[in-house]
Amino acid sequence: MGTFSSIRSIPFSEFLIFGRSETKIFAIVASETVFLGATFFVAKPPFLPIPFSDSAALLITGLLTVVLAAALYVLLSGLGYQTYSAKFHSPVHILKCWAAHLAFSTVVIYIGYLLLVYPYTGSIVLQPVDIGIGAVFSTGYAISIAGIIYGEDYFSDNPNTKPEDIDQFLTAAEDLKEKPEPEIVDEPGQLIQAGDSLLTGLQTSNLEGTGDLASDLQDWLETFKQRELQGQKKMVGDLPNSDAQFSVWEDRYNAFQDLEEELREMDNSASRRVVLSVRGK
């Protein structure tokens, strides 16, 4: 585990593994790489079965790379959406992850190139067509790694309930705030249930910053559980317009607003936020 721990200690690894188990990711990358390496060794160059002119090949590989790179971004934003870190829902942060994945896969592919093509060409300087083909391979390789991580999560026995939990938490809070007391049935219970589930997700997440959010949520939930309905309503923002409003309730509501902000950030994937911002929403 020493090797994995050292990987974990590098914040950069977060860009690649999204807080997943290092062992699992290492196994996925290793098997992928072995598979790819084996393919390189058994295959015979040239790789393009149809003879294209250089410019056509560059055009095709360029277009393919753009499409694959975009798909990689969507896939990575999906992976980010499964995490309990607000940072991994940010388009910029996902872009960094995207770059990290591409950089990693480019290095692997270049090593493969050196092993397979260099003996034929005798040159370590890449030809334009090699760059184009390499780019397609790199993005494809990155997609295959991200896809396996994503699929592994998707078919796991512990489905990620984060989106439902966030929705239940925020909806219950909104209802609790808006409804008069006699109409409130089980909103505090639903809020607590969703909050506890989110808390478990945050506490078991390995990502940087989730610990702080978990601690804030835990403190707020503990207080919420101990309050009567009258106080619980105040904690989610039903602060009566009173001259003698107590700051203790305002503080608790402010803490809720901070939590709400972070949870709302986690409620949209990076790619969806990009689309929304393009649409001007």
Partner 1 sequence: MEKYAEDREFGPPDKKPHNEGICLFSDSKSCYGDDLESILNEITPKISGYEETIVADPHGEGLDLMRDDPVEAETTILKSSLWLVHHECIIEDGLKDDFRRAINATPPRTHVCILIDAPESEHEEIEEDLDEVTDSQNVFTVKSKPVLRNSIRQYLDMSANPKRGKEEVIEWNNNVCDLIDARS
Please give the residue ranges that form the binding site for partner 1 (CB under 8 A): 182, 226-231, 240-249
* CA angle 173–177–182, rounded 5-degree value: 110
- Smaller CB separation from partner 1, 215 or 245: 245
* Cβ proximity to partner 1, 157 vs 228, nearer residue: 228
**Residue among 3, 38, 5, 12 nearest 104 (CA):** 12
Buried b (16+ CB within 10 A) or exposed e, 130-146: bbbbbbbbbbbbbbbbb
Please, what is the minimum distance in Å from the beta carbon of residue 231 to partner 1?
5
Cβ distance to partner 1 smaller for residue 128 or 189: 189
CB of 257 to partner 1, least distance (A): 19
For partner 1, give the closer residue by CB, 209 or 231. 231
Provide the minimum distance between the beta carbon of 248 and partner 1 in the complex, in angstroms, as a whole number.
6
Smaller CB separation from partner 1, 89 or 252 = 252
**Residue 116 to residue 188: CA distance in whole angstroms:** 63
Based on CB atoms, which residue is closest to partner 1, 158 or 226? 226
Give the 3-state secondary structure of residue 242. coil
* C-beta separation of 227 from 235 below 8 A: yes
- 221 closest CA partner among 176, 187, 259: 259
**Residue 229 C-beta: closest distance to partner 1, Å:** 6
CB 79 to partner 1: min, Å: 38
Smallest gap from residue 241 Cβ to partner 1 (A): 7
Contact 28, 152 (CB under 8 A): yes
Give the gyration radius of the chain's Cα atoms. 25
